[in-house]
Amino acid sequence: MNFERSSGILLHITSLPNKFGIGSLGREAFDFIDFLKESGQSLWQILPMGPTGYGDSPYQCFSAFAGNALLIDIDNLIERKLLNRDDVAIIPEFSNDIVEYDRVREYKNKLFETAFLNFTEFADLEEQAEFEAFCIKNSEWLDDFSLFMSLKEHFNLKPWYEWNEAIKIRKSKDLNKLKIELEERIEFYKYLQFLFFVQWSDLKKYANESGVRIIGDIPLYVSLDSVEAWANPELFLFDEDRNPTFVAGVPPDYFSETGQLWGNPIYDWKKHKRTNFRWWINRVKANLEMYDIIRIDHFRGLVAYWSIPFGEETAINGTWVDAPGKELFTALKNEMGDLPIIAEDLGVITDDVVELREKFALPGMKILQFAFDASEENNYLPHTYDKNCVVYTGTHDNDTTLGWHLSTNDINRNFAREYLGICEFEHEIVWKFIIEAWKSVANIAIVPMQDILNLDSECRTNIPGTSSGNWKWRYNETISSEIIEKLKKLSHIYGRI
């Protein structure tokens, strides 16, 4: 699908400024949309919004369908009379620079408990009916998810594969007994999802009315500790003890000498083909209800994936295994028509990956930081682009552009200076990158918020191959009128408004 010429900003919702320690779906998100509109931007790209587990990576979620309750706006709960001002009279001193997930989770969960109690005691018939309608509409994923989260709580937050055997393998008699015992907690987790999606719906409506489209993100794989792996093990390559036989990752590459061992279970693609990819169709449909455009992370894994034997300590000893990407996208297209999908086609890209992307007219990704690796030829330099692509200065997995500039070698740095025409004013390197992206022929140009603010490596979102210290960055400064006018002017000059 060819998109119109446009531009936007990559910023995950957790990074928005907020007094409650983490960005939310509240006022700060609406204000960010106002900033996008005022600066001539029509796209807001975010990371996956699912409930995160260990390490708080949005790419390792407990569910492929549920929302992250930590993003629920507290002020909106006060407006809805689910909380009162006294409930939030004392707010811990959260960091303005990073998300302190454990502290935020402890504080917000107490408020959610209060809100749920108030709902169960005081909700009128209309409010109850709205909640019940949500539960019925989303029952296909919501029932299992709410049970899964209640069971995690019951088993002291252990992953499902460490629960007692009967519950691990979903033995009906034992599971039904616990369902009765945990009925109130199941309802609690359903209610949190209701609040999340009500708030998200209001935010997306405001964005679209402001001329801003949301680009969401689908991780290719689900987490091993997810409701999908527990409730639908037939979709994955598990042995008779529900252990994965192979897990996902990528071979050694630009980011890591030993590759990346993600540990996600591998899909049983034979099973998916027999059901005409019904689970995938439902997943993509659900995401296209949430977002205007979706980006499929690790798109190349739909052509061939790096399969690592379970138990390996690194990703080195994997093998490439073919995946039925062509059949999958044919099924998606037959069901939904044109697919507003961006393919994350970074990494080891072979001709068959390009063929699949081009067959379904999916725009791929171009990263400007990759363009200035003077040691090898690449197709990331802007003069090599065609229109149907998305250019980024960097992504959530890259260093900030200022950080890249300060840490790269002199050969790469000088190559960038020559290509971008920088004779002096080296401090303007980041905006030179942004200008290069905006003036390229790429239909879509996206820049991370860190680059808009000209921030260094301390503010990067993620370091691939590491398991701690990521996904925490928050910005707390006011976006200046100078930045707004600069972005707006660039978008006018290069035809992106």
Active site residues: 297, 344, 397
From residue 247, alpha-carbon distances to 83, 261, 400 in Å are: 43, 8, 30
Judged by DSSP in three states, 281 sits in helix
Q: How far apart are CA 112 and CA 122, in angstroms?
A: 15
d(CA 261, CA 144): 28
CA–CA gap between residue 61 and residue 238 (Å, rounded): 19
Using alpha carbons, select from 325, 316, 311 the residue that is nearest to residue 267. Answer: 325
Cβ distance 261 to 313 under 8 Å? yes
The owner of tokens 């909640």 is 131
Q: How many C-beta atoms lie closer than 10 Å to residue 221's C-beta?
A: 25
Dmax (CA) of the chain: 74
Query: β-strand 246-250 against 213-218: which pairing, if any?
Result: unpaired
Residues in Cβ contact with 4 at an 8 Å cutoff, skipping those fewer than 6 apart: 443
Q: Please count the helices (runs of H) and the strands (runs of E) in the chain.
A: 19, 12
How many CB atoms are located within 10 Å of the residue 214 CB?
20
Cα 456 from Cα 266, distance rounded (Å) = 36
Calculate the dihedral angle through the C-alpha atoms of 12, 15, 19, 22, rounding to the nearest 10 degrees. Answer: 70
- The length of the chain is 497
Report how far apart, in Å, the C-alpha atoms of 433 and of each of 252, 262, 370 are: 27, 31, 12
Give which of 236, 220, 238, 237 is closest to 283, Cα–Cα: 220
Which residue type sits at 78?
Answer: I
User: Of 251, 249, 216, 245, whose CA–CA distance to 229 is shortest?
Assistant: 245
User: Do 224 and 263 contact (CB within 8 A), yes or no?
Assistant: yes
